[in-house]
Every structure is written in C-alpha cells, then in structure tokens.
C-alpha cells in the first residue's frame, strides 16, 4: 500500500518516506524545544545574556515595558514544554506562532539589523510547519487523545476514505 505522501506506487518507497518524515519532525521538535527553552531562560536573567544586553533593556528599546519579558518568557517556556507531549503539540506550536509573529513585527517596526531580525521569521516558519504537521485530524477530536503513528507517536494517522464499489 502506497503512502498518502508518496507519489510512487511502489510499496518499498512508502516506509522510507514515512521514516524520513518522522525523523525530520523529531528534529524540528527538538530544535524548537531547545531554542525556545534557551530563549525563555535568558528572558528571566537579570544581567547580560549570551544574546547580548539584558532583555529588560531590549524590551524597553523596542517600546515595551521591561516586565513584559516575563510573560513572553513564560509563553515560550510553556510552548516548549507543550511540544514534548503529542496531545499538546499543536497548541504549543500555535502559541509559538503567535509569539514569533509578535517578535517578527517588533523587529520590523524597530528596524533592527538583519542579523538580529532573522531568528523570529525563521522560527515563525518552523512553528507553522509543526502546527500544520500536528493539527487535529478532526476538530471534533480537538483536546482528546490523538491517534498517532510514527516515531515516538509524533504524527497523526490520516483517515483514508473507504473505497466504494462501482455499480
């Protein structure tokens, strides 16, 4: 049986494509969890970070109150934790999309240099890909235990329409 995502009709090609898709999704989740956990931790640090000046100064330069870094950091940390659980993965990716969209607009409005501004749109694209890959099969099942398949239960099982006999 050929995979839904595979364009060939050979049965041997289907498991290989599904396996690569699963491992790419695992790599994407690990990348987002590590990068947003590191970003959240630096938002709570009072002094200089390995990303440059303190985030209290950065947020003030961007036009936000310095305390606003705490809700952003809590949101990043909550989303990173949610990515670890298949049941919450879509919600975590959606939260990351909102946070990174805000960061993207902030960097555009403040006209930051390209080197400082490239992270937000890149993470927005990656979070969007993850949200699309982990969206609920049926919105009536949203919030229930997902039907999963693949490495570590990362991908949802696609529903296949029954083949009706031709009369």
Q: Is residue 40 part of a domain?
A: yes
Tens-digit pLDDT string for the chain (167 aa): 444 444 445 555 556 777 888 899 999 999 999 999 999 999 998 878 777 788 888 899 899 999 999 999 999 999 999 999 988 999 999 999 999 999 999 988 888 877 778 888 999 999 999 999 888 776 665 555 545 444 444 444 445 555 566 66
Q: Is 6 helix (H, G, I), strand (E, B) or coil?
A: coil
Q: 140 near 162, Cβ under 8 Å? A: no
DSSP character at residue 112: -
φ, ψ at 110 (rounded to 5°): -90, 0
Rounded Cα distance between 167 and 91, Å, is 44
Block residue for tokens 């790419």: 24
Predicted TM-score (pTM) of this structure: 0.72
Q: Which residues contact 149 (CB under 8 A, 6 or more apart)?
A: 155, 156, 157
The number of distinct structural domains making up the chain is 1
According to DSSP, the residues that pair with 148 across neighbouring strands are: 156
Q: Is residue 2 part of a domain?
A: no
Q: Is residue 58 part of a domain?
A: yes
Q: Is residue 146 part of a domain?
A: no
Boundaries of domain holding 65: 28-137
Rounded Cα distance between 65 and 57, Å, is 9
């Amino acid at each position: 049986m050929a995979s839904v995502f595979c364009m060939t009709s050979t049965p041997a090609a289907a498991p290989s494509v599904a396996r690569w898709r699963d491992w790419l999704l695992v790599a994407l989740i690990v990348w987002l969890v590590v990068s947003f956990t590191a970003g959240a931790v630096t938002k709570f640090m009072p002094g200089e970070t390995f990303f440059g000046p303190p985030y209290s100064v950065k947020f003030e330069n961007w036009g936000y109150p310095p305390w606003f870094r705490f809700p952003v950091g809590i949101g990043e940390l909550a989303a990173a934790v949610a990515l670890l659980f298949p049941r919450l993965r879509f919600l975590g990716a959606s939260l990351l999309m909102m946070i990174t969209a805000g960061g993207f607009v902030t960097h555009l409005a403040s006209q930051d240099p390209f080197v400082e501004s490239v992270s937000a749109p890149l993470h927005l694209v990656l979070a969007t890909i993850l949200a699309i890959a982990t969206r609920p099969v049926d919105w009536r099942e949203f919030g229930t235990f997902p039907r999963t398949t693949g490495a570590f239960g990362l991908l949802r099982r696609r529903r296949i329409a029954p083949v009706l006999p031709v009369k």
